[in-house]
Amino acid sequence: MTDVRTSADLRHARVYVSVLGDGGAPSEPDQREATLEGLRSAHGYLQGRIAGELRLKRTPTLEFVYDDTTDRALRVDALIDEIGRQ
């Protein structure tokens, strides 16, 4: 999880997630989709856990969104390493 943005009325929460690939490499599209699908599948369970912790009248509805910030950072890191080897 990299960030969570809630609506002003706390009815909706957009949860941004990053997915690392094998060995800490950038993720592949199928890995990202599988991760997001798993989170969507666990939506009810996660919503229930959050409801138990927050003690709000209404628990925000969760929406999971892929955040490519980590992939971009890994790419920049790889480019810097490549330049350093030259």
Domain ranges of the chain: 3-85
DSSP 1-50: --EEEE-TTSSEEEEEE--B-GGGPBPPHHHHHHHHHHHHHTHHHHHHHH
Instruction: Round to whole Å and give the CA distance between 27 and 71.
Output: 7
Does the structural domain 3-85 have CATH classification 3.30.300.20? yes
Rg (the chain; Cα; Å):
17
Q: Which residues contact 80 (CB under 8 A, 6 or more apart)?
A: none
Per-residue model confidence (pLDDT) at position 20: 87
Q: Is the pLDDT of residue 77 over 90?
A: no
Per-residue pLDDT reduced to its tens digit, 29-61:
999 999 999 999 999 999 999 999 988 888 999
